[in-house]
Amino acid sequence: MTEAALQFSEDDKIGRVASVDTSRVAIDVTNSVLLTRIGIGQLVAIRGATEREYLIAMTERVTRTLREELPDIDDAGEDGALLAAVPTDLIQAVLIGTFRTVEGGKANTFKRGADSFPQIDRDCFVIEAANLQRFMGILGSGFSEDERLKLGTFVADRSADAIASGDKFFQRHAAILGSTGSGKSWTVALILERAAKLKYPNIIVFDMHGEYAPLADKNAGGFAQRFRIAGPGDLDKPGEEVLFLPYWLLNRDEMLSMILDRSDQNAPNQASRFTLHVRNLKGETLEAEKRETVKKTFTVDSPIPYDVRRLLKLLDIDNTTKGMGKNGPIKGEWEDKLSRFLSRLEAKLDDRRYGFMFAPPVQAMSYDWLAKQVLKLLASNGGSGIKVIDFSEVPADVLPIVTGTLARLLYDVQFWMSPKNRTPVTLLCDEAHLYLPVRDDADAVQRQALGSFERIAKEGRKYGFSLLVVSQRPSDVSRTILSQCNNFLALRLTNETDQGVIKRLMPDSLVGLTSILPLLDTGEALLLGDAVLLPTRIKLDIPKVTPDSATRDFWKEWGTVQPKDDAIRSAIECLRSQVRI
């Protein structure tokens, strides 16, 4: 017969249940010596309805108060009865689950939630030492071998591995949140490293600063494929790793958000003519490609190549063509109404920073090009399932559109794929606050990106498409997206506003756990959500390949490293040419 994981003696007894509400228990402490070892987050076992059942709770408050009492007559002494100070010790704990020594044919099982409420005067025991080791050991044992995601060890017991369900962690969206320097990048690298050991992983990393480039360095043990959005220096001779996002991939609203000034009194006319000409130009492409079936049902938003220079000419004709009246030429219907729209569009076309969008290579204008590009990102062959896309050279004003367009495109491909042929895809959104802001603070460009990501957050699970959101400022990230995340790795957060976001996302019974967020050490995290049986504090493992995000030692380097004149001059030239050397 299997040995019970929790075996308590009288020395482990901390007290008895004094009061109960729907999620919290007050324990009247009878062992004052044991109380001195109790800390916030300590696990307590409360005897259940049977000898085989314990309700598991986590301490969130420990108090000692002194009250004055008359001593016993025998202790009063010759001077009479003097008041004596008597301590009253209490523990407040939150219920988190049920442990059973035997449940059906299984032994030592733990599940979240309490099947019953603790009864008054039930004995309570502290889970520590050998009991704690055995209990922590069973938390991950319920996951099948191909589902286990090892993230580190429990802070309460460093000998026990912290195991999460890889399936639940990714399928229901997740967030990694923590202040700068708390270990977010290393956490991301660790999760990617674990996923890379699978046969066909499919994770696409939106890398805003190029810090995950080492993960693609095969000479240093890298495991990922790296791509980057084309910069001004890539327009003439783009390499295989360079990605273009041609303007024709943008839908109508995305394109107009970059070019159209909604405050312009002619904005409706400009949007109308743009929509008409783009649809006609896409129709001409379909005719040339002999895609009659597609031509019957396509829309202006369909990703079909067209020549933007022809679009400019057509708009210019509209803008300069006069009408004919009874007595000769009169002002045309569209004359001079498109001037500002044309100038804004021409400015984008002439700016090499936007070359990845408006100056794509010739082959990117072919009908079959899109399928080849999407295959690069969604295929998972030969251990290349982790893809890192470097967005560091994308201008900040169009970063939301670029990320949103790419996310929408990949999601739409997954959406329209036959259900039996779908394989799961995760988008890892690094520095999410840069392009997924709170909607009330978003401008027209950012709202377009938000629409794409919020749709994924709401619907993606049904189509095997999930988000892993990473940010140092959760208070600046879309509340809609965070509210859809069912799993959180919360590292150190020192800002009260950011801590408040985590508290609002937690069930009321777990809010007390978030009070330790500002006290976490670098590389420590609170692991909360559906992917773990027990919400707990863990010490994350260190990844073998670390990202290029290490904090610089300012004081040491100021004392040892002299700035290089040539490097500064070279950086100035890079700034002028918008090309990294």
* pLDDT one-digit tens code per residue, 121-179: 999 999 988 888 888 888 777 778 888 899 999 888 788 888 899 999 998 899 999 99
114 and 208 assigned to the same domain? no
Q: Which residues pair with 57 in a beta bridge?
A: 44, 95
Strands (E), 331-471: 386-390, 425-429, 465-471
The count of domains in the chain is 3
385 and 523 assigned to the same domain? yes
User: Shortest CA distance to 255 belongs to which of 235, 230, 281?
Assistant: 281
111 and 227 assigned to the same domain? no
Instruction: Specify the pTM.
Output: 0.86
Tell me the C-alpha distance between 513 and 526, whole Å: 8
Tell me the C-alpha distance between 247 and 518, whole Å: 44
Higher pLDDT, 18 or 4: 18
CATH code, domain with 397: 3.40.50.300
Tell me the C-alpha distance between 404 and 416, whole Å: 18
How far from chain centre, in Å, is Cα 492?
16
Task: Please indicate, yes or no, if residue 518 is contained in any of the structural domains.
Answer: yes
CB 187 within 8 A of CB 489: yes
The pLDDT of residue 383 is 59
286 and 332 assigned to the same domain? yes
407 and 540 assigned to the same domain? yes
Query: If residue 566 lies in a helix (H) or strand (E), which one and from where to where?
Result: helix 565-577
Of the residues 288, 322, 340, the one at which a domain ends: 340
The model's pLDDT over 211-221, given as tens digits with 9 standing for 90+, comes to 999 999 888 88
CB 173 within 8 A of CB 469: yes
Query: If residue 258 lies in a helix (H) or strand (E), which one and from where to where?
Result: helix 252-259
Task: Please indicate, yes or no, if residue 145 is contained in any of the structural domains.
Answer: no
Task: Please indicate, yes or no, if residue 569 is contained in any of the structural domains.
Answer: yes
308 and 436 assigned to the same domain? no
The pLDDT of residue 290 is 92
User: Shortest CA distance to 164 belongs to which of 488, 577, 497, 412?
Assistant: 488
**pLDDT at residue 359 greater than cutoff 60:** yes
Tell me the C-alpha distance between 29 and 17, whole Å: 9
The pLDDT of residue 353 is 85
Q: What share of the chain is helix, strand, coil (3-state, %, to 5)?
A: 40, 25, 35
The pLDDT of residue 73 is 61
Sign of CA dihedral 539, 541, 547, 553: positive
| Structural domain span for residue 308 | 253-340
Backbone angles phi, psi at 71, to 5 degrees: -75, 170
Tell me the C-alpha distance between 153 and 156, whole Å: 9
Task: Please indicate, yes or no, if residue 242 is contained in any of the structural domains.
Answer: no
Of the residues 316, 340, 364, the one at which a domain ends: 340
**pLDDT at residue 419 greater than cutoff 60:** yes
The pLDDT confidence band at residue 304, using thresholds 50, 70 and 90, is very high
DSSP-assigned letter for residue 151: E
Task: Please indicate, yes or no, if residue 58 is contained in any of the structural domains.
Answer: yes
491 and 565 assigned to the same domain? yes
229 and 257 assigned to the same domain? no
225 and 270 assigned to the same domain? no
How far from chain centre, in Å, is Cα 380?
22
Tell me the C-alpha distance between 21 and 187, whole Å: 37
123 and 205 assigned to the same domain? no
CB 203 within 8 A of CB 211: no
CB 548 within 8 A of CB 207: no
183 and 284 assigned to the same domain? no
**pLDDT at residue 375 greater than cutoff 80:** yes
Task: Please indicate, yes or no, if residue 1 is contained in any of the structural domains.
Answer: no
Task: Please indicate, yes or no, if residue 352 is contained in any of the structural domains.
Answer: no
The letter for the amino acid at 305 is P
Of the residues 295, 315, 340, the one at which a domain ends: 340
The pLDDT of residue 413 is 93
The pLDDT of residue 249 is 92
The pLDDT of residue 77 is 57
Task: Please indicate, yes or no, if residue 293 is contained in any of the structural domains.
Answer: yes
472 and 422 assigned to the same domain? yes
**pLDDT at residue 510 greater than cutoff 90:** no
